[in-house]
Amino acid sequence: MKKIIFLVSIFLFFINLSFANFKVSLKEYLDNKSIDEASAQIYLLNRCSAVYTYASAILLETDKLNSKNFIEISNNLLFKSIELMIIDEQKKLETAQEEAEKIRKEMFDEYIAEGKKNWKKNKSHFKGSFISDDMLICSNLVEGND
């Protein structure tokens, strides 16, 4: 039982540590990480999945086609994250899926909170915030995969 509590504590510590970095742009996060590390790649894929989900939600009422395209991109990025978790972290498919979906939801919620703050400040969900920087990095990642 103590071993399980210890492992859960370690897991929660690393999840909280990754979200402590959420207030900085993805570029700043990646500047301090080696992109060759699987954990950095998984974080990048999860965060890009979340920012595309956020963009999809913002566009849902005004541009359904792009909203649909963004959610497809988001799901493809999440799938790649799950693949890496299975390959590099030897997680079972179900475990990796649950973890990736939970992380995306938490990151999506962070983007919503930041987007609302930014909207109050300058009437934009993206401009003038790290969200626009993240979208730029993630769009380069997506374009590089085509």
pLDDT of residue 146: 53
pLDDT of residue 63: 95
Of 30-34, 42-46, 65-69, which gets the smallest average pLDDT? 30-34
Residue 11 has pLDDT above 50, yes or no: no
pLDDT of residue 67: 94
Residue 20 has pLDDT above 70, yes or no: no
Cα 100 to its chain centre, rounded Å, is 9
Distance CA 30, CA 37 (A): 11
Distance CA 121, CA 139 (A): 25
pLDDT of residue 25: 84
Between residues 126 and 54, the one the model is more confident about: 54
